[in-house]
Structure 1
């Protein structure tokens, strides 16, 4: 496994796992016009293992000294959960982000996100 591949997986998990562990809001916490969007049985969501909520996949990337490459990180989100775009649609939403940990001899550029 190449260093960039390993770094992308670790960074992806570091970003996605905390977001998925957030407790789901109940309908009493939301304005009346948003109450229909939340499941009434939040205990059901707590029973799903995190590994079934978010699946991260990255194809291996081979880099030669002085070369360049691209890595595509794919996230599969379980039904009933969501992530936000980057940039987010509204200012109060938190964008989904990928951070790339520095590795010796590898310089990562700024990630690009799908439109």
Structure 2
């Protein structure tokens, strides 16, 4: 009976050693440093801002208007400028809202 206990202990020790070795061989989880996450977010915001500005420039009713697009962070886009009518201002806001990655649009368009 003493032999079977010793065998079980040795088996358990071998399994624990094998498990430890496999954990040690696994690469660390893919986590990005905070600076890298911030840089990716900024790049994403810049891309969203560029796409939003392009959408406004491609629209025949809006391309001549003095509208600018800027972003803050996390998909928040600010549209500034002026439009001759509320309808055109609203059209600009709706087009920007439809851009992938835009989470919120802050309307700073002056009408008149």
User: Aligning the two structures, in what range does the TM-score lie when normalised by the shorter sequence?
Assistant: 0.3 to 0.5
Give the TM-score, by structure 2 length. 0.36
Structure with larger Rg? 2
The structure richer in helix per residue is 2
Which of structures 1 and 2 has the larger relative contact order (alpha carbons within 8 angstroms, sep 6+)? 1
Which structure features the higher share of strand residues?
A: 2
TM-score normalized with structure 1 length: 0.36
